[in-house]
Structure 1
Amino acid sequence: MPAPPGHLGNLTPEQEAKLREFWAVTLKVFGVEDPRQATEPDPPRAQDAVSELDVKEKEKSKKRLGIFKRHKDKESSNGSATPTKDPSRYADSDDKYGQVKEFQQILVTQAPESLRDTFWSMVKADHPDTLLLRFLRARKWDVDKALVMLVSTMRWRSQEQHVDDDVVLRGEGGALEDSKSSDPSIKREGEDFLAQLRLGKSFLHGTDKEGRPLCFVRVRLHRGGDQTERALERYTVYVIETARLALRPPVETACIVFDMTHFTMSNMDYTPVKFMIKIFEANYPESLGAVLVHKAPWIFQGIWKIIRGWLDPVVAGKVHFTSGVEDLEKFIPRSQIIKELDGDEDWEYKYAEPVHGENDHMKDEAPRDSLLTERDAHVREYQKKTYEWISIGTGPDMDKIKEERHALARKLNENYWKLDKYVRARTYYDRTGMIGPDGEINFYLPPPGEGQNEDLKPTSPETLPDVPKVEPSVDDVD
């Protein structure tokens, strides 16, 4: 499957120039200096090796890099980079989530090294270029806007949601531990997180015709107030981060199926809807391939008018309404549509509880630290090679340097999957084998208690949260 336009492996010269420009300002924000400038002057380059595009790009880069130069006498006490120009001049009407203001605050208050660490933690198994390209495409190749979005996302991950040092690090096992806490608030958070997994409020299974992972959301299982807002947010982030691990190039997006069967107004809750919209637009750009709203009753029409008004037009254009299995077949092969949705695949979601000792590797500090040291060396080499790539532009050695960068990206990917068990708590998808220990993905393994997962016990009915039976009503019509 070829890479889509604007994606890694299918960039125009202009788009690649934008990517180099984006890397230049990003590394500057991270406090990563060009080692060539620190040790030796740039070697002379033949005039015919420099394209007109390179000249234009270098002029723009000089201007942009000036934004992030440190004042010798104005550096903040924590070593943060103080911009020499006001980034708010880049604000415009599409700053929907106030990211420009966040950007200003972050550059003044947060050390460049912490931003660098957050970024490389966010990369995980991705190719670093792939991650930056998401932000560039989302901001229509405007480097300034993409940088604001990226830096704001790093703050959201590290300071607001604590994605890598809490949600991913502790995961389901941490929630189970919290559910036994003597602190009522901690206990509630743990119970609420697990309740959504046990119910199967949403789950990942299979792929659509484009090879995109499918995420099914059973809207009827949600009732406002059943879980705390924080537990809902943690669960949403957990599902998205898990889905990220299942993406394999050239597939970079997922398909979400909102199953509206037996939907009633008691299932409608605008708060988590707004949260999902915000993070997909602001923090996980270019992650949605398609959204299928299946069997929505007529009462949803008015609700959809409200929700559509909140959506970016590009995101709204990815929403499709389906009313039967024939409609779903336009997106998913019938053989891969689960029987719950009248398809042919005989598969049913059954949760399996965390297994005792499944996260013991996370206690092994020596191998973890060794792999982190190895990863840091790869990162530093990648940054160095990226500066070479930025400098060479479209010169004669470009292909060689590009391949060297890709080779380092592959090393980072391999390193991540060795490191994964030391930094990420095991999930339902690890237990059932969808995510293999080496990063191999298998979307079509049997549920707990069946086939090769027969030794994995599904959650007992006594443990499942109580869900009232919903009978079809006059509202439940297509």
Structure 2
Amino acid sequence: MWEDMLNWRNENGVDTIVQDFVYDEYKEVQQCYPHGYHGVDKQGHPVYIERIGKIDVGKLMKVTTVERFLKYHVQGFEKAFLEKFPACSMAAKKPIDCTTTILDVQGLNWMSFGKVANDLVMRMQKIDGDNYPETLHQMYIVNAGSRFKILWNTARGFLDPKTTAKIHVLGNKFHTKLLEIIEPSQLPEFLGGTCSCPNDGGCLRSDKGPWKNPEIMKSTCS
């Protein structure tokens, strides 16, 4: 696996992808696929959020391509290792090397999700599993309806038990659970927190976190 990972990095120019790859369509992608890092949990892990229920696959494929999106996805992982994990480790005063993820599936239409979206998700999961293992601390799937829970109960039988133990599927009464692990100031209002970033695009385009602190970043780079 280690050799395959090194070959993959070499073949795809991953070592320099942060500098070399420019994702010009980022803003357009955000409008039809809201996602991003926002704050840290109470243990200091960066929090990554996706509003899967708001994905418009048709629009997404008009503003980007699967290959470019996968490059952007890989670039995001590389930035996490270069910037977010070191900054969070500095802020928490302990090693941080994994992420707390929140997937909001409210409004997810399985019929419109389609083959393209399914293939994209599967390719992303393969990249993550093969080349970035053990980077998930915990995952919380919120606003999960009865249909999603049925599908999840079926799918979990095909997943590694170590992975499924980290995944928590919650309904629409998820606020108390999230606030147990994340301070309100670090959680967007739409997830029950108190944060409403004033920048264009709101919380999911703010990239809020210790990695935005110049003093911390100066220390991690020195």
Tell me, yes or no, whether TM beats 0.5: yes
Counterparts in 2 of 1:195 and 1:271: CA distance versus 1, 3 Å: same
Matched, 1:315 2:163: yes
> Match for 2:72 among 227, 232, 235?
235
Is the contact made by 2:23 and 2:72 (CA closer than 8 Å) also made in structure 1? no
Q: Describe the superposition over 1:36-73 as per-residue Cα deviations: whole angstroms up to 9, x where unpaired.
A: xxxxxxxxxxxxxxxxxxxxxxxxxxxxxxxxxxxxxx
Is the contact made by 1:200 and 1:350 (CA closer than 8 Å) also made in structure 2? no
TM-score between the two structures when normalised by the length of structure 1: 0.37
Q: Describe the superposition over 1:395-434 as per-residue Cα deviations: whole angstroms up to 9, x where unpaired.
A: xxxxxxxxxxxxxxxxxxxxxxxxxxxxxxxx9759xx72
Which residue of the partner structure matches residue 210 of structure 1?
43
Which residue of the partner structure matches residue 98 of structure 2?
253
Which residue of the partner structure matches residue 271 of structure 1?
119
Structure 1 segments unaligned to the other structure (5+ residues)? 1-148, 177-190, 353-426, 442-478
Q: Describe the superposition over 1:24-46 as per-residue Cα deviations: whole angstroms up to 9, x where unpaired.
A: xxxxxxxxxxxxxxxxxxxxxxx
Deviation at 1:199? 5.1
Matched, 1:155 2:7: yes
SS at match of 2:212: coil
> Match for 1:328 among 178, 201, 205?
178
Counterparts in 2 of 1:318 and 1:348: CA distance versus 1, 3 Å: farther
Deviation at 1:213? 0.1
CA RMSD, aligned part only?
Answer: 3.1
Distance in 1 separating the partners of 2:40 and 2:159:
25
Counterparts in 2 of 1:236 and 1:256: CA distance versus 1, 3 Å: same
Is the contact made by 1:220 and 1:267 (CA closer than 8 Å) also made in structure 2? no
Counterparts in 2 of 1:438 and 1:337: CA distance versus 1, 3 Å: closer
Q: Describe the superposition over 1:278-310 as per-residue Cα deviations: whole angstroms up to 9, x where unpaired.
A: 233221111110111011122212432454244
- The equivalences for 1:38-437 within 5 A come to 149-159=1-11, 161-165=12-16, 167-171=17-21, 174-176=22-24, 191=25, 193-197=26-30, 201-225=34-58, 226-227=60-61, 228-244=65-81, 245-247=83-85, 248=89, 249-265=94-110, 266-267=112-113, 269-305=117-153, 307-323=155-171, 324-347=174-197, 350-351=200-201, 429=207, 434=212, 436=214
TM-score between the two structures when normalised by the length of structure 2: 0.75
Deviation at 1:252? 1.3
Is the contact made by 2:99 and 2:138 (CA closer than 8 Å) also made in structure 1? yes
Is the contact made by 1:340 and 1:348 (CA closer than 8 Å) also made in structure 2? no
Structure 2 segments unaligned to the other structure (5+ residues)? none
Distance in 2 separating the partners of 1:276 and 1:310:
17
Q: Describe the superposition over 1:148-180 as per-residue Cα deviations: whole angstroms up to 9, x where unpaired.
A: x22211111221x32233x31234xx333xxxx
Distance in 2 separating the partners of 1:200 and 1:349:
18
Counterparts in 2 of 1:288 and 1:339: CA distance versus 1, 3 Å: same
Is the contact made by 2:35 and 2:50 (CA closer than 8 Å) also made in structure 1? yes
Is the contact made by 1:207 and 1:336 (CA closer than 8 Å) also made in structure 2? yes
Is the contact made by 2:44 and 2:96 (CA closer than 8 Å) also made in structure 1? yes
Is the contact made by 1:295 and 1:322 (CA closer than 8 Å) also made in structure 2? yes
Bigger radius of gyration: 1
Q: Which amino acid aligns with 1:303?
A: L
Is the contact made by 2:38 and 2:186 (CA closer than 8 Å) also made in structure 1? no
Distance in 1 separating the partners of 2:39 and 2:141:
17
SS at match of 2:196: coil
Is the contact made by 1:229 and 1:272 (CA closer than 8 Å) also made in structure 2? yes
Distance in 1 separating the partners of 2:48 and 2:19:
22
SS at match of 1:347: coil
Distance in 1 separating the partners of 2:68 and 2:151:
24
Distance in 2 separating the partners of 1:223 and 1:284:
27
Deviation at 1:243? 2.3
Counterparts in 2 of 1:350 and 1:198: CA distance versus 1, 3 Å: farther
Tell me: higher relative CO, structure 1 or 2? Use CA pairs within 8 A at least 6 residues apart.
Answer: 2
SS at match of 1:258: strand
Counterparts in 2 of 1:319 and 1:197: CA distance versus 1, 3 Å: same
Deviation at 1:194? 4.7
Is the contact made by 1:200 and 1:351 (CA closer than 8 Å) also made in structure 2? no
Distance in 1 separating the partners of 2:31 and 2:185:
26
Which residue of the partner structure matches residue 217 of structure 2?
439
SS at match of 2:180: coil
SS at match of 1:299: helix
> Percent of counterpart pairs with the same letter?
24
Is the contact made by 1:211 and 1:251 (CA closer than 8 Å) also made in structure 2? yes
Deviation at 1:440? 5.0
Is the contact made by 2:37 and 2:49 (CA closer than 8 Å) also made in structure 1? yes
Deviation at 1:198? 5.2
Deviation at 1:318? 0.4
